[in-house]
Amino acid sequence: MGILLQKAPLIISGPCSAETEEQVMQTAIRLAATGRVDIMRAGIWKPRTRPGSFEGIGTKGLPWLQQAKKETGLPVAVEVATGKQVEDALHFGVDVLWIGARTTVNPFSVQEIADALRGVKVPVLIKNPLNPDLELWVGGMERIAKAGIEELGLIHRGFSSYGNTEYRNAPMWHLAIEMKRRYPGIPMINDPSHICGRRDILQAVAQQAIDLDFDGLIIESHIDPDNAWSDAKQQITPEVLKEMLEAIRWRKENIASEEFHMALEKLRQQINQLDDELLQVLSTRMKVAQKIGEYKKNNDITILQTNRWNEILERAVAKGNVLGLSDDFITKYMDAVHMESIQQQNKIMNS
Ligand code: PEP
Ligand code: MN
C-alpha cells in the first residue's frame, strides 16, 4: 500500500517554507518526537502573491530535507510548480510532491508537471485551485493520472474570496465533499493552516474535517512561528501540534453495531420522507410562481420586483431564526428558490 493510504488519518506537518538548515533539522526532530506525524512538508519554491517577499530558498534547501529524513526517518513532501522543480525534487529523493493552489488553476503548468512525471513513481497531492471550480481540480488530477502517476491524493485548502472573512480561504466544504463523492478511493486531506490563516481557529477546522471523514490533515508547523519567513500567523510549534492532535476527537465512518445501524436507518428513512415532502412543497410553490408569471406577462410587469423580494427574504430570515435556522442558510436557500422562480417565470413570459 502506498504512503498516502498507509495510515488514516495521515498527518503531514512542517514549515510553510524551509528557511535554514538548522530550522529544517530542528523542526524535523521536534515533529518526529511528537510520534504523530507521518510526513514532513516544507516549501522550497514559494509562490507568493506579491513580489519582494521571501520566495523560497530554492534547490539549495533540498539536501537539508534529505538530511532531515536521514536523521528522523520522516518522509518529506515538497511543492512543485514547474518541470525543473519536479526534476530537482526527485533528484534529491523527495518522497511526496504536491501541486499548489496557484498552480492547479493553470492547465499549462499542471501539464508541464505531468510531462516531467512521465515514467516516474511518486505520490502526488493536488491542492484545490484558488477559485471554487471543481472541474479545474478534477482536470489537474486527470493530467497527473494520465502521466502514469498511480498514487494520487487531494488537498482541500479553501478558496480565495474578495474581502475579509473569518477565514483566509473560505472552506466551501461542499466542494471537497463533492470530490470525495466522485472519487471515493482518493484520499482527501484537509489543510486547516491555509483555510484559517490564523492559529485560533485551526483546531475547529481540523475537527470539522475529521467529522466529515477526511483522510488526513496537513498543518504548518515551525520552531519559532512568530518569526517564520512566510505564513507566520498560521504556524504552530510541533508541540502545540501534538496537543492539537491529542485534543481532536477522532471519528470513524462506520461501526459494526447492529443497534447503531438500525437506529441510523430509521432516522435516514425519516430524512428521505422529509426530503420528498420538501420537494413536493417546492414544486407546488413553483406552480404558484408560474401563475404569477402569467399575470405579469398579461400586464407587462417585470419579473423582478425588488421590494417584494426584500419582503420575502426578511420574512424568511425572521421565521427561520425562530425555527433555529441560520441567516446564512436561509439567505442561500431563499436565493436558490427565488432564482428557480425567476427562471420558471422567464419561460412563461417569453413563450
Ligand atoms: C503552502 O502549502 O505553503 C502553499 C503555498 O499553499 P497553497 O498552495 O494552498 O496556497
Ligand atoms: Mn504556507
Per residue in 58-115, pLDDT (tens digit) is 999 999 999 999 999 999 999 999 999 999 999 999 999 999 999 999 999 999 999 9
pLDDT tens for each residue of 107-142: 999 999 999 999 999 999 999 999 999 999 999 999
Ligand 1: does its nearest atom lie under 6 Å from the Cβ of 43?
yes
Atom 3, ligand 1: residue with shortest CA distance? 16
Closest CA to 314 of 327, 324, 326: 327
Atom 6, ligand 1: residue with shortest CA distance? 100
CB 90 within 8 A of CB 121: no
Per-residue pLDDT for 162 more than 90?
no
For 6-43, b/e burial (b = at least 16 CB within 10 A) is: eeebbbbbbbbbbbebebbbbbbebbbebebbbbbbbb
pLDDT attached to residue 268: 95
CA of 194 from ligand 1 middle (Å) equals 7
CB 188 within 8 A of CB 157: no
Ligand 1: does its nearest atom lie under 6 Å from the Cβ of 80?
no
Ligand 1: does its nearest atom lie under 6 Å from the Cβ of 12?
no
Residues flanking ion ligand 2, Cβ below 5 Å: 16, 231
Ligand 1: does its nearest atom lie under 6 Å from the Cβ of 90?
no
Give the cell for residue 111. 501539464
Closest CA to 96 of 134, 126, 125, 74: 125
Ligand 1: does its nearest atom lie under 6 Å from the Cβ of 100?
yes
CA of 16 from ligand 1 middle (Å) equals 8
Give the cell for residue 15. 514549515
State the average pLDDT over residues 243-251.
Answer: 96
Sign of the alpha-carbon dihedral angle for 49, 21, 94, 197: negative
Ligand 1: does its nearest atom lie under 6 Å from the Cβ of 16?
yes
Q: Identify any residues that bridge with 96 across adjacent strands, giving them in sequence order.
A: 77
State the average pLDDT over residues 323-350.
Answer: 94
pLDDT tens for each residue of 7-25: 889 999 999 999 999 999 9
CA of 47 from ligand 1 middle (Å) equals 8
Cβ of 93: how many Cβ atoms within 10 Å?
14
Q: Band of the pLDDT at 255, cuts 50, 70, 90?
A: confident
What ligand 1 atom has the least distance to the C-alpha of 155?
A: 9
- pTM value is 0.86
- Cell 427561520: give the residue: 320
State the average pLDDT over residues 266-291.
Answer: 95
Mean pLDDT over all residues of the chain?
95
- For 138-175, what is the HEC assignment? HHHHHHHHHCCCCCEEEEECCECCCCCCCCCCECCHHH
Full set of structural domains in the chain with CATH: 10-247 (3.20.20.70), 258-349 (1.20.59.10)
Ligand 1: does its nearest atom lie under 6 Å from the Cβ of 156?
no
What ligand 1 atom has the least distance to the C-alpha of 191?
A: 9
